[in-house]
Structure formats: C-alpha cells, structure tokens
Amino acid sequence: MLVGDPVAAAALGRTFQVRALFSKYENVKESIISDYIASIPEGFSEAVEKVAAFQGGTMGTDFVLSNRAKMQMLVEKFHREAGTLTPGISKILGLLNDPRTIFFVSVHQPNLFPYGGVFKKIVLLQTLKRALEERKTDVRIINFFLIVDHDFMDDLYIRMAELPSIRHSNGRLELRIPLNESKRWQLVCNAPLPGRTVFDGWRSQIYSWIRNSSSSLRTSTDKSAVMDNFEHFWRLAEQSYSRSKSYSDFNSFLISQLVNMEWGYDTLFVRLSEMSPVFEDGFNYLICNFGRYSAMLNETEKMFLRCGIDTGVSPTSYLNAPLWLHCSCGSKGSARVQSDRQGQMLLVGNCISCKRELNVVLGKQGRMMIPTERLSDLSPRAIPILLLLSRDLGVTCYASGTGGSTGYSLVGLMLFKEFSLRMPTTVVWTSRDVYRGIGQAESLEILRVSSESDITNYINILKQREFEYKNKIDPLITKRTRLVKNAGSIDLVLSNIFKIKQEQRKIRELLRMAEKVKKAIETKASIIDYVINFGIANTEILWRRHLLENDNLAAPLVMPL
C-alpha cells in the first residue's frame, strides 16, 4: 500500500530539483559557487555524462599510486576483520595498482543502524559505476566508502537509530547505546563494543515494535514475512557483533555485510582513523601552507556571513590547524600552529576530554614536517577531507549527503580554488523515500488518514479550531475579571469557561496526537525499517530501479510493499 497517490507524487517529483538543496547560496556573488551548484546533476543520466566527462584524461600519478598502495593494506585488513573479503573485493583490490583506475567515494560516520541515506549514497555510486562500465568495457572504477570513525561519541546519531512508532512519546522508537558522561568525548573508534545486555536489548525493542506495529497488518503472511526479514537481518547483526572489538567495528561491519555480502557490491571500506600514513604528504602540505589555508577559510566565512548564510562551519575554524591531535585517553583536541622560544614550529592543543596538553614538533619554519612516528596521533578535520581524497588518492566523483556536508563542501570548494586543485564531480541523491511500512501504517490508522498531506491538513484544521476556542475564552475571562471587580456573580461565566476549556482540551489532545503521527511519518528511519518492510535484497533493487527508471535525483521514490 502506498502513501498518497503515486501519480500525484510523481507529478510533484518533476518540480523538485537537487539544486534546491543549495538555494540559500544563490545570492552569493562568487562565480565558483554558482558554477559548482550549476554543475550538480539533476538526473542520473546527467550524472553519468558529467562523471564520464570528468574522467577524460584521468591517470593516476606515481604519487597517487603510492598512496593507493598504502591504502590497499588497510582496506584488506578491514574486510578480513569484517568477514567480507569476497572474491569481488579481492579482484577490485588489484585495481589499486593500475594508473587507469578511477576513484569514487562516499563518506559517513559509523552510526548505529544508519538511516537509509547512508546506503543510498553507496547505491548511487555503484549504479553509476556499472553504467560507465557498460558504456566502456575497459574502464576501471573503484567505489569506496570512507568510515569517519574519529568523531566524538557525543554526536547523537552516532549512538541512536530511529524507527517510526506512534506508541512512543515523540512518535519514534529510539535505539540507543548508553553513554556515560565521562565518555561523551571519546572517539567512536575507541569506544568499546556494547555489552551483550545492551545488544540483546536492541533486539527485544525491535521485536516488540514489530509485534505491536504489525497488529494492523491484514494477513498472517504479511506478519510472517516481516518477522522473517527481521530474523535474517539480526543474524547479520550477530555476525558483525561477534567479529567486532569496538562500537565502531560493529556498525561498520554491519554496513559492509549488507553492501558486500547481501547486495554483492565490490565497494571497498576503509577506516579514516587508519588513513594517516596514506595522507602523510597531504598533512604536511596543509601544515606548510597553513597561512593560505587559514586566510581562505576566514575570507570564505566572511563572504557567507555578508550574505546572511550559516554554513554550519565554526566562524573561528580558520584559527585551527586542519588536523586533530589525538590523546592517549581516547579523545582528541583542536590544534593550532605556533612557534616556541627556540623557533621550532609546533602543533599545540588540549584534549577536549582530559584537558591534557598535546603537541607535535614540526621543525623550523619553511622546513616543517610531521614526524612519521606521530602520524597515527593525527587525523583530518571535516573541511579538508575531500581535498585530501582528491589530492592524495585522485578521487574524481564524490557522493555528498543532504545535511551538514553541503556546507562543508562549499567551504572546501574555496580551498580547492586556493590550492589550484580540481573539485571532484559532486553527485547528490536528494530523493525522499515515500512508503507505508508497519510503523507508518499504524500511525496513519490512528487518525484514519491515508497520506502525509492529509495529516498536514488535519493539523491545520485543529489549530484553527484551537484558535477559535481561544477567541471564545478570552472575552469570558475579561468579563469574569470585570464581574469580580464589581462584586458580581461569576457562576454562569465560570460554567461557560469550563465547558469551552473542556472542548479546547479535547482539540489539544487531538492536535498532540496528530503532531506525533506526523513525526512518526517524517522519521529519518534506520535501515532496519527498510529491511523489515521490504527485505534486504529488495530494498537495494527498489533504490537502484528508481535511479535507472526515474531520471530525477530529487523526485520522491514511492516504494511499493
């Protein structure tokens, strides 16, 4: 069953544009910004053409090949540990040494049971890869996923997944990993694997959610299929859990299980926390050119502020070095480039968690270099990650997300200009998935409506009625005040106020429920919601089919159950 009218949804889809995601940047009077936004493909076929055009003449240099060779060991290490070193992965690993190999990349944190958008970036790049391979049989393409596992555990979505549930206070079932206050600044890669009690607790929560939500399904076959899908998924979760040594491992291994084993993709996975040796030259390049880096960030931030734009990047980011300093306590700190009394240049900072002073000696001005033995103590900040991927690994296509990464990309774009580097082709799949799963169906049935637009209309009607009741009560309260002042009888007025307030309370309760239903329907659902309602394999098929058959990367994807 679909949410709303599929024909109407498709018609609406034709009016959507990917570039609308960047609408707040339209008034920036900077050609590089407007040209970049204009370059973002609106449809899949346009993405194929633009990526193909970018690849013309692309050839890996000795420098790039050397870095790819270093990465090869890290990729193989990850897949061995995850249990996903398939023959397809082994074959693709060999292409890392081929100078003709083209690199596609998507990037994300290892979130708990990530939402669908994380996987859709991988599907987008893999579908692009296949389209280009069909067009030109001798093309060599690697699609890899960079696991940003050096972020803080304090990030909410790293430690929480959501499922639509009218039975919960905010319209969502939240699966969480408990976080001790003292560990909020711990890095994800250093966070321990959750205990068995927590892991089994997630299973119990999901099982109860399925049992309660699926009570609205019409047939026992539907319920049986939903439960079979869950049991299949949870076996993969168990495998990932048994292989993991950290919280980051569990989440990363599970993503790889779905992508590499269930979908058969040859997407390569690698941990950012292990990539410092690969980016050694890039780190040194950024540090040696810190003055230019800092000045450009400052200038860019001022440019956006003049236009009233908040990019999500800290306005003081230009003061910080492009690298984090890691601490032995498992956290990290922002770093600044400064000199000591002897004229030595240093990276200096304080650990955010334990407040310990951190530093790395870089040598004399003009000859700065990060000691090789200290590389593992460093990792890149968000803004220069794409620059490093492009410069040091020759990445030519980047699948961006629809959230904070857009601001980072546009700020980073100005760094590409400053350092005369070519920005990879950026592709963004902004399409919203529209479907009625078990959680959505139960929520809609509460209000006896069939679509999200019906909920919005219903909420607007309730708000209008609540406003009308307020307009009735306000004069009565004024009258009551006047009667009390004049020692008159207020019994009749109080009775009328009471009756109207009773009706107003009923309207407010209906409004509260309607808004809860709306939140449930709008939940950025975990991949669990997809695999339970559609099955693991069918989820990928529906996403890929939409890319190939609906040539609009912003059009809503109406997913039939």
Instruction: Report whether pLDDT(401) > 50.
Output: yes
Which of 115-129, 402-416, 477-491 tops mean pLDDT? Answer: 115-129
Instruction: Report whether pLDDT(342) > 90.
Output: no
**Distance separating alpha carbons of residues 224 and 214, to the nearest angstrom:** 10
| Buried b / exposed e along 255-288 (16+ C-beta atoms within 10 A) | bbbbbbbbbebbbbbbbbbbbbebbbebbebbbb
Query: Residues with Cβ < 8 Å from 444, sequence gap 6 or more?
Result: 3, 436, 450, 451, 455, 517, 521
**Distance separating alpha carbons of residues 429 and 398, to the nearest angstrom:** 11
Band of the pLDDT at 498, cuts 50, 70, 90?
A: confident
Instruction: Report whether pLDDT(230) > 70.
Output: yes
Write the burial class of residue 5 (CB in 10 Å: 0-12 exposed, 13-18 middle, 19+ buried): middle
| Buried b / exposed e along 296-310 (16+ C-beta atoms within 10 A) | bbeebbebbeeeebe
Res 504: pLDDT: 85
Across 267-295, average pLDDT: 96
Write the burial class of residue 140 (CB in 10 Å: 0-12 exposed, 13-18 middle, 19+ buried): middle
Instruction: Report whether pLDDT(5) > 80.
Output: no
Helix, coil or strand: residue 192: strand
Res 58: pLDDT: 52
Write the burial class of residue 203 (CB in 10 Å: 0-12 exposed, 13-18 middle, 19+ buried): middle
Across 416-438, average pLDDT: 93
Instruction: Report whether pLDDT(372) > 70.
Output: yes
- Give per-residue pLDDT as tens, 46-76: 999 999 987 654 556 899 999 999 999 999 9
Band of the pLDDT at 14, cuts 50, 70, 90?
A: very low
Q: How far is CA 128 from CA 49, 104, 116, 135, 511, in A?
A: 10, 9, 18, 11, 45
Band of the pLDDT at 507, cuts 50, 70, 90?
A: confident
Band of the pLDDT at 219, cuts 50, 70, 90?
A: low
Query: Residues with Cβ < 8 Å from 267, sequence gap 6 or more?
Result: 122, 125, 126, 143, 144, 145, 259, 260
Q: Give φ, ψ of 173 to 5 degrees.
A: -85, 125
Instruction: Report whether pLDDT(124) > 90.
Output: yes
Band of the pLDDT at 2, cuts 50, 70, 90?
A: very low
Instruction: Report whether pLDDT(315) > 70.
Output: yes
Instruction: Report whether pLDDT(79) > 60.
Output: yes
**Distance separating alpha carbons of residues 503 and 480, to the nearest angstrom:** 19
Band of the pLDDT at 279, cuts 50, 70, 90?
A: very high
Instruction: Provide the mean pLDDT of the chain.
Output: 90
Kindly state the tokens that stand for 21. Answer: 């995601």
Res 148: pLDDT: 97
Q: What's at 304, amino acid-wise? A: F
The residue assigned the tokens 């569990």 is 250
More confident residue, 561 or 368: 368
Side-chain half-sphere of 388: how many Cα atoms within 13 Å? 26
Across 407-420, average pLDDT: 92
Across 319-329, average pLDDT: 95
- Give per-residue pLDDT as tens, 157-180: 899 999 999 998 889 999 999 999
* H/E segment holding residue 54: helix 44-55
Chain CA centroid to CA 440, Å: 22
Band of the pLDDT at 293, cuts 50, 70, 90?
A: very high
Instruction: Report whether pLDDT(9) > 80.
Output: no
Res 123: pLDDT: 98
Across 283-297, average pLDDT: 95
Res 8: pLDDT: 38
- Give per-residue pLDDT as tens, 21-55: 998 888 888 899 999 999 999 999 999 999 998 76
Instruction: Report whether pLDDT(12) > 70.
Output: no
Res 458: pLDDT: 84
Instruction: Report whether pLDDT(83) > 60.
Output: yes
**Residue count (the chain):** 561
Res 433: pLDDT: 94
Using DSSP bridges, classify how beta strands 102-108 and 141-147 pair: parallel, antiparallel or unpaired.
parallel
Band of the pLDDT at 221, cuts 50, 70, 90?
A: low
Instruction: Report whether pLDDT(7) > 60.
Output: no
Q: Are 175 and 202 in contact (CB under 8 A)?
A: yes
**Distance separating alpha carbons of residues 114 and 105, to the nearest angstrom:** 18
Instruction: Report whether pLDDT(15) > 80.
Output: no
Res 189: pLDDT: 97
Residue among 252, 314, 281, 331 at smallest CA distance from 79: 252
Res 314: pLDDT: 83
Res 11: pLDDT: 40
Instruction: Report whether pLDDT(331) > 80.
Output: yes
Band of the pLDDT at 218, cuts 50, 70, 90?
A: low
Percentage with pLDDT > 90 across the chain: 66
Query: Residues with Cβ < 8 Å from 467, sequence gap 6 or more?
Result: none
